[in-house]
């Protein structure tokens, strides 16, 4: 047989679309060409595959070898195609049974000795395999592959009884892929052992890899709110933000605890659902960050440096790669020293913060990435950080302070629901730490979870995600609250977006209190969370 077909997957956009590796051997001058939009890493597979086959004792065909990676318009990257290319050559030359490759998927980078190296994107690839199997099982309509809602783009598993698809990966990468339900994952250490398994050698049979016992894996310690000294207003604001999914801006002098508060927000968020955990893990797996099983069901917390470029923050390159806002999907994106970011970079956040998604377009490809993260930003009130300090430590002129704050545009600030001043701690507050410790994260998280449940039962989404008409239906305050809101809007000159965002925050405060509708007291608290904008 001179033609073999092997199935694999590409890491594009974290969705791991299927790639068919076609290997054809023809007569003529010996050559080895790879077509189908391969990048440099894939083109280098020729040398790795040739050396691996020869060093493992296989015959490398002295013929005209053509490898086609279909579909041809999908960019192919990484060394994951080494293994399917090698298997295709062996099957086309009759050294392994061609039918042993049917209904199986393969991926892995080969060393020159034939050993299989670890690869990124194993979890995402398993999610793609499960999703394709579920769509096929449901008659091709993809009913079991939950692709529509944010947070479930990559979560899918077969719902009917049938033989699970088989996925073959390097042994070092198989454990994380085994976490995905509905897929039998096999791990191989090298090419000869895998070929012996495919050939049916009795003493070389590989078994499916068992999913790691997550209870035995040490999870990262989540910072606790009990460590925070004082800052009652900021603690309350974080509770409201966690309950409604609202974006937060903390403004205060150095050492006030802004970064400490931000690091504790993930510990207040509700536990991840199965779909959310699969989606987040698949995105991390396909990225350069990688996925660690100890991160399973943990909300991502991304804190990029203020020197980050727009491509690093929202995504870019060619082919498009996800940025920090996508890696923080379903978690928290923390931007410390917000005015130190380039203004053009910050402006790229406006649309994804509103829509929860971002589309990166290039000449030959368009990629759509989820970006439903919660933004928490921190900043000083001026370059030296001491503006408004009663001790008079600030040495910034009004012009310098104004230039510093102008780096933040009005449209960007308009999209941040809670803007709060975090004052410096007094010596008395610092000394009272041992006698009056703050409330721990666990009871706050229980209140947040209860408020989120009320929102999901009522409208199927968080309050931050409500549209204009939904806000009118769900967030309408009582008479006194509506009068107070109108008066505040006229006094502070709010835009329509700000008006509706205050209503959403008030609705969240009412949910925390278990109230049927926002009252004047809850409207007043929501208004206070917009007062810090007066510092500008």
**pLDDT band (50, 70, 90) for residue 143:** very low
| Lowest-confidence segment of 34-38, 148-152, 331-335, 392-396 by average pLDDT | 148-152
153 confidence band (pLDDT: 50, 70, 90):
very low
Confidence of residue 101 (pLDDT cuts 50, 70, 90): very high
- Region 64-90: mean pLDDT is 93
What confidence tier does 151 reach under pLDDT thresholds 50, 70, 90? very low
Domains of the chain are 3-212 (3.30.230.10), 225-436 (3.40.50.300), 466-536 (no CATH)
Distance from C-alpha of 498 to C-alpha of 418, rounded to nearest angstrom: 10
pLDDT score for 196: 95
The answer to whether the CB of 396 falls within 8 A of the CB of 383 is yes
Structure tokens at 519: 């009252």
- What is the C-alpha to C-alpha distance for residues 518 and 240, in angstroms, rounded to an integer? 14
Q: What is the distance between the alpha carbons of residues 447 and 202, in angstroms, rounded to a whole number?
A: 57
Asked whether the beta carbons of 193 and 204 are under 8 A apart, the reply is yes
Cα–Cα distance, 83 to 171 (Å, whole number): 13
Q: What angle do CA 377, 380, 385 make, to 5 degrees?
A: 160
1: exposed, middle or buried (Cβ count in 10 Å: 0-12, 13-18, 19+): exposed
Comparing 97-101, 176-180, 360-364, which segment has the lowest mean pLDDT?
360-364
Q: Does the pLDDT of residue 90 top 60, yes or no?
A: yes
Between CA 353 and CA 355 the distance in angstroms is: 6
Which CA distances in Å does 185 have to 182, 201, 206?
A: 10, 19, 10
Distance (Å, rounded) from C-alpha 326 to C-alpha 330?
9
The token duo for 228 is 């925070």
| The two structure tokens encoding residue 484 | 């107070």
Report the distance separating Cα 212 and Cα 235, nearest Å: 36
Q: What is the pTM of this model?
A: 0.83
Q: Which residues of 30-46 are buried (b: 16+ CB within 10 A; e: fewer)?
A: eebebebbbeebbeebb
Task: Round to whole Å and give the CA distance between 425 and 162.
Answer: 62
Whole-number average pLDDT of the chain: 86
| Exposure b/e, 83-113, CB count within 10 A at least 16 = b | bbbbbbbbbbbeebebeebeebbbbbbbbee
pLDDT confidence of residue 219: 63
């Amino acid at each position: 047989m001179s033609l073999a077909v092997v199935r694999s997957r590409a890491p594009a956009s974290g969705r791991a679309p299927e790639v068919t590796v076609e290997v054809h051997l023809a007569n003529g001058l010996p050559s080895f060409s790879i077509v189908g939009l391969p990048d440099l890493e894939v083109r280098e597979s020729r040398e790795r595959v040739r050396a691996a086959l020869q060093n493992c004792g296989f015959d490398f065909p002295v013929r005209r070898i053509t490898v086609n990676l279909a579909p041809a318009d999908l960019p192919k990257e990484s060394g994951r195609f080494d293994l399917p290319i090698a298997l295709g050559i062996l099957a086309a030359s009759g050294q392994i049974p061609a039918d042993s490759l049917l209904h199986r998927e393969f991926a892995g980078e080969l060393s020159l000795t034939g050993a299989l190296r670890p690869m990124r994107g194993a979890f995402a690839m398993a999610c793609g395999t499960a999703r394709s199997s579920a769509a096929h099982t449901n008659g091709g309509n993809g009913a079991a592959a939950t692709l529509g809602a944010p947070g479930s783009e990559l979560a899918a598993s077969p719902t009917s009884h049938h033989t699970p698809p088989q996925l073959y990966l390097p042994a070092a990468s198989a454990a994380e892929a085994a976490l995905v339900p509905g897929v039998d994952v096999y791990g191989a250490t090298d090419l000869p052992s895998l070929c012996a398994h495919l050939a049916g050698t009795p003493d070389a049979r590989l078994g499916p890899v068992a999913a790691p016992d997550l209870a035995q894996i040490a999870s990262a310690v989540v910072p606790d709110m009990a460590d925070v000294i004082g800052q009652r207003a900021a603690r309350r604001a974080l509770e409201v933000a966690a309950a409604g999914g609202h974006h937060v801006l903390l403004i205060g002098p150095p050492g006030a605890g802004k970064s400490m508060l931000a690091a504790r927000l993930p510990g207040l968020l509700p536990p991840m659902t199965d779909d959310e955990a699969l989606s987040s893990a698949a995105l991390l797996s396909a990225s350069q960050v990688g996925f660690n099983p100890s991160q399973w069901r943990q909300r991502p917390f991304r804190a990029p440096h203020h020197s980050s470029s727009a491509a690093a923050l929202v995504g870019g390159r060619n082919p498009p790669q996800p940025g920090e806002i996508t890696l923080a999907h379903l978690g928290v994106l923390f931007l410390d020293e917000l005015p130190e970011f380039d203004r053009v970079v910050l402006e790229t956040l406006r649309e994804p913060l509103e829509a929860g998604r971002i589309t990166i377009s290039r000449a030959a490809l368009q990629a759509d990435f989820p970006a439903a993260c919660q933004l928490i930003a921190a900043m000083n009130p001026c370059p030296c950080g001491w503006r408004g300090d009663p001790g008079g430590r600030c040495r910034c002129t009004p012009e310098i302070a104004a230039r510093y704050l102008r780096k933040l545009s009005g449209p960007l600030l308009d999209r941040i629901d809670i803007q709060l001043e975090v004052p410096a701690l007094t010596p008395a507050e610092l000394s009272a730490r041992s006698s009056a410790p703050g409330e721990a994260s666990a009871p706050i998280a229980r209140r947040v979870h209860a408020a989120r449940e009320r929102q999901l039962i009522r409208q199927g989404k968080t309050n931050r995600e409500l549209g204009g008409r939904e806000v009118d239906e769900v967030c309408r305050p009582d008479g006194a609250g509506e009068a107070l809101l109108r008066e505040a809007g006229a006094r502070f000159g709010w835009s329509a977006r700000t008006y509706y965002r205050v209503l959403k925050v008030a609705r969240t405060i009412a949910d925390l209190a278990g109230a049927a509708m926002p009252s004047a007291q809850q409207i007043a608290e929501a208004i206070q969370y917009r007062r810090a904008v007066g510092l500008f």
